[in-house]
């Protein structure tokens, strides 16, 4: 979850903090999880000594860019900034850093350089929209799973057809017993008091949950995995085929691989162009590359007789 200072920064660059305060616990759980995955998809090397890496990654992946400048007190530093002005190609010409310890208007290319995650980072906010988009879906799926698990605990309920307590209170007690995990609940229905005069042939009523029709947790878990796979594809992380029985043609595998890396390639290209300017201007040696896990990727050359993998 954002700190107060991070929310203040977002507010200063026109992202209202009222939106964030209304989100659910499930949303924030998934937001943090997805942010950590996004911020680990690219590895930055050569960051100057003294730079706070956590804050640097937050700048890049949430705001979408950061301003690099030189100071007498801290040396080469970075901070969030609001951009202004435009040149012949409508690129910003000024950056306003509004830090309580450093407040200054800088000229891009002369006093500072901008590290950009993507070409339209000044309009959109880095990967913030991606994280928000999928966190909402996963949060709703999580809520559905929680409700499904609660509903699955509803056991056989039996009414003995007589009683003298308020029905509402009775049902509350039934619910408490159900949530406590009792497999059999007997309750008294006060609406059937006429049975004392004309007894029913069968004094018992049964209610039993049809689990096969109402238990959808398995489907929701599969849907959640599908959403996660879509998210991984979106940010260029490897995705495994959930259905082990499914096969994929080599051509299909190559196409899926290309689709998965399209946005990541855009990010890396934008970062490379930005970092070249920063390194040339300030004498740094910052690089960005795709995160490579051990055993990452698919062996697309491995073929079977039917040209499938």
By C-alpha distance, which of 29, 22, 20 is closest to 2? 20
Give pTM, 2 decimals.
0.72
Neighbouring residues of 50: CB distance < 8 A, sequence distance ≥ 6? 74, 75, 77
* Helices and strands in the chain: count of H runs, count of E runs: 9, 11
Q: Which two tokens stand for residue 289?
A: 């590359």
With left for phi above 0 and alpha for psi between -120 and 50, is residue 7 left, alpha or beta?
A: alpha
CA distance readout (Å), 89 to 86, 93, 116, 125, 204: 7, 10, 16, 20, 81
pLDDT of residue 158: 53
pLDDT of residue 233: 86
Chain centroid offset of residue 126 CA: 14
Per-residue pLDDT tens digits of the chain, which is 309 residues long: 556 666 666 666 555 555 666 778 888 899 999 999 999 999 999 999 999 999 999 999 999 999 999 999 999 999 999 998 988 888 899 999 988 899 999 999 999 999 999 988 877 778 888 998 999 999 988 888 887 777 666 655 555 554 545 666 777 777 777 666 566 677 665 555 544 444 555 554 555 556 556 567 788 888 889 899 889 888 887 776 545 445 555 555 555 555 667 889 999 999 999 999 999 999 999 999 998 866 554 443 434 444 433
CA distance 68 to 273: 14
Chain centroid offset of residue 240 CA: 19
pLDDT of residue 309: 35
CA distance 241 to 161: 54
With left for phi above 0 and alpha for psi between -120 and 50, is residue 166 left, alpha or beta?
A: beta
pLDDT of residue 20: 63
Q: What angle do CA 151, 209, 201 make, to 5 degrees?
A: 140
């Amino acid at each position: 979850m954002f700190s107060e200072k991070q929310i203040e920064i977002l507010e200063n660059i026109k992202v209202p903090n009222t939106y964030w305060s209304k989100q659910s616990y499930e949303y924030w759980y998934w937001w943090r999880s997805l942010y950590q995955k996004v911020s680990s998809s690219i590895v930055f090397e050569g960051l100057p000594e003294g730079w706070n890496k956590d804050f640097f990654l937050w700048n890049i992946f949430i705001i979408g860019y950061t301003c690099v400048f030189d100071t007498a007190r801290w040396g080469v530093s970075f901070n969030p900034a609001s951009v202004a002005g435009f040149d012949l190609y409508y690129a910003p010409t000024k950056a306003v850093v509004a830090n309580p310890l450093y407040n200054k208007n800088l000229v891009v290319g002369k006093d500072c350089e901008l590290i950009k995650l993507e070409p339209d980072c000044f309009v959109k906010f880095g990967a913030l929209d991606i994280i928000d988009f999928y966190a909402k879906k996963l949060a709703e799926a999580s809520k559905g799973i929680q409700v499904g698990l609660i509903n699955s605990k509803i056991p056989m309920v039996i009414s003995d057809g007589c009683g003298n307590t308020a029905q509402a209170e009775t049902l509350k007690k039934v619910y408490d017993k159900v949530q406590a995990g009792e497999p059999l609940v007997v309750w008294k229905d006060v609406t059937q008091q006429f049975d004392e005069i004309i007894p029913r042939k069968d004094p018992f009523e049964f209610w039993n949950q049809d689990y096969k029709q109402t238990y959808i947790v398995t489907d929701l878990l599969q849907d959640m995995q599908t959403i996660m796979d879509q998210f991984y594809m979106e940010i260029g992380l490897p995705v495994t085929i959930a259905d082990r029985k499914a096969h994929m043609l080599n051509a299909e595998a190559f196409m899926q691989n290309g689709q998965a890396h399209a946005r990541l390639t855009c990010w890396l290209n934008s970062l490379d162009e930005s970092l070249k300017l920063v390194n040339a201007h300030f004498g740094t040696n910052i690089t960005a590359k795709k995160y490579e896990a051990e055993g990452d990727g698919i062996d697309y050359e491995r073929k079977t007789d039917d040209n499938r993998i």
